[in-house]
Amino acid sequence: MVAIFHHPPRTSLGSVIFALQILLVVLIPVLDNGSRLTPLPYDVASLAVATLTTWLLGYRRTAAALAALSVAALAWTVLMAGDTSFLRLPLWLSMFGACLISAVLCIKSAFALSVSPVQRIFCGAASFVQLGFMFATVHGLLGVALGDGYALVAGVEDARPLRWVDFVWLSFSTLTTAGFGDVAPVSAAACAVSTLEGLCAILFPATLIARIASVPAGPASEDSPSREAAAASR
């Protein structure tokens, strides 16, 4: 069996990966067009960040597959003039898959023994942000598919309709347990997704902190394989 990482990511790469996730947050007000559907430039940025994150973590074939899938989904959306929820479905599914894969790979790096504690912290923080975007995609899918699955609180709903940024806001306010309550899940499916995200918000940081605390403090060598990989190759 081969090691999970042919070359474990360096500490500097962890900071770059985390910075890419923060860039997506910064781009939200810049690219917001007030629509219920995510702006196409933001879709491109999200797919590019997920693909680049996968590449930086050392999964080159997976990154190439994500890039091909992203290009195909974007081409479909542009050629079909996908300004409706049905035509955006392939793009949304590809975004969900890209966010999920990159988040899982970041979590693997955060829990690996072959990287330094600083690298684990950066990858853990990046995966936490990625989980927020992944759940935002699910909220957006449900919001468009169900129509009345989510609602703005009284007062806000009179000022404007529900927008794509509301799903991002709901996701991160749930994931950070801030719970501002200006956007609320209404349907059973939306409540179930919000509940699952709330559980991730509690269990994931606690598990990650326990993992980091249980690993020896010295930074691991970048040239040495992980203990799991070494054990598996015997």
For residue 156, the model assigns a pLDDT of 62
Q: Which residues contact 145 (CB under 8 A, 6 or more apart)?
A: 85
For residue 102, the model assigns a pLDDT of 93
| DSSP string over 21-45 | HHHHHHHHHHH--S-SSPPHHHHHH
Q: How far apart are CA 29 and CA 135, in angstroms?
A: 19
Name the pTM for this structure.
Answer: 0.81
Neighbours of 179 (CB within 10 A): 9
For residue 1, the model assigns a pLDDT of 36
For the purposes of burial, counting CB atoms within 10 Å of the CB of 148, is it exposed (0-12), middle (13-18) or buried (19 or more)?
Answer: exposed
Tell which residue, 65, 184, 211, has the closest CA to residue 127: 211
For residue 88, the model assigns a pLDDT of 77
Could you state, in chain order, the average pLDDT of each consecutive group of 10 residues for the chain (234 residues)? 45 84 94 87 94 93 94 88 71 90 90 79 90 92 82 70 89 85 87 92 85 62 41 42
For residue 34, the model assigns a pLDDT of 84
